[in-house]
Amino acid sequence: MKKLFSIIVLILLCSTSFSQDYKIIYDFKWKSDPSDGNYNSELTALSTNGRESYFEAWSKLKYDSLKTDLRNKGIRGVPSPKEEWMFQNLIVKDLKSQTTTSEQEIFDKIYISKYTCKPEWKVLKEKSKIFGYDVQKAETEFVGRKWTAWFTTAIPINDGPYKFFGLPGLILKVNDEENNFLFEIKGLTKEKVDISKRNRPSSAVNLSPTQWDSFWTKYQKEPANIFANLNETGGTYSYVYNGKDVNAKETKDAYNKAEWKKMNLFKNPIELKPCK
């Protein structure tokens, strides 16, 4: 009985240690133009429990956490964000099914697409040290680019920034061959993050990867086209942008300008090939 009890305790301890909640801060650097030596930079955050994870801009994570907290308290009205973020997507990973979901908020809707593609890694013998951890090198060809990653088995979670996962430990650093994109750890805490109520159910629009690609191609050409038919006669309320009717030409022009500015930050896209 004592031996059986000891085994049960050991299993529970191991289960607890492998289900730790972590929040990892990465510095994300990228070039909008490959021919330009200048980098954009933004702090991003990976919230993971070893089974599922969320990756988004650090400023957006704070806002999504605020929305969840207010809605948990029964407060329906959510203030506008105080900070802007450049990386617009939220990447959700289910590490058990090895699927990835991408969310992007556009005006009053959340567009959600689910992907089954994943990086296939080649683990190399080369080792180094990053952020105080012993790390090992790995390489992959993914979404049209060649990537180098450094992971540590000291944190037994097969996760990492953006859509990178599948190594026998946490990815602390990853960059593409041309150094157009770089994710590197800057902070790590054992912390549980709840953003489960970040979205209103009515705001979700589920699209297949092919449907999203088609929508996004059209959206980039004329973002304000999503305003079409929003304020039809007989509606119970009117849509506005910056306090002005969405049908007004000046409103559409202002919206296009704002959205194109965001897009230009990633005119050199992370993904050169579709990730299905």
pLDDT in tens, 70-95: 999 999 888 989 899 999 999 999 99
| pLDDT the model gives residue 233 | 56
- Shortest CA distance to 172 belongs to which of 218, 229, 131? 131
pLDDT, position 238? 86
Note whether 162 and 55 are within 8 A (CB). yes
For residues 15 and 120, what is the distance between their CA atoms, to the nearest angstrom?
27
If we measure between CA atoms, which residue out of 184, 220, 179 comes closest to residue 34?
179
**Lookup: tokens for 263:** 């897009």
Q: How far is CA 126 from CA 68, 101, 132, 157, 227, in A?
A: 42, 32, 17, 20, 53
pLDDT in tens, 254-265: 999 999 999 999
pLDDT at residue 154 is higher than 90: yes
Say if pTM beats, i.e. exceeds, 0.75. Answer: yes
pLDDT on residue 4: 45
The single residue listed with the structure tokens 């605020």 is 66
Instruction: Record the tokens describing residue 107, joined without a space.
Output: 């005006």
Alpha-carbon span 29 to 182, nearest angstrom: 5
Contact 170, 151 (CB under 8 A): yes
120-152 per-position pLDDT tens digit: 999 999 999 999 999 999 999 999 999 999 999
Integer CA distances (angstroms), 92 to 34, 172, 219, 256, in order: 28, 18, 23, 28
Question: 3-state class of 240 per DSSP?
Answer: strand
Give per-residue pLDDT as tens, 59-71: 999 999 999 999 9
Strand partners, 141: 146
Q: How many residues does the chain have?
A: 276
Give the largest Cα separation in the chain, rounded.
78
Average pLDDT, the chain: 91
SS3 4: helix
State the Cα–Cα distance between residues 24 and 170, nearest whole angstrom. 10
Tell the burial category of 130 from Cβ atoms under 10 Å away from its Cβ (0-12, 13-18, 19+).
middle
- Please check whether residue 160 is in contact with residue 151, taking contact to mean a CB–CB distance below 8 angstroms: yes
Residue 99 scores a pLDDT above 60: yes
Structure tokens at 267: 């005119």
Instruction: Provide the token pair at 262.
Output: 């965001």
Q: How do residues 202-231 score in pLDDT, each as one tens digit?
A: 999 999 999 999 999 999 999 999 998 887
| Cα 255 versus chain centre, distance | 23
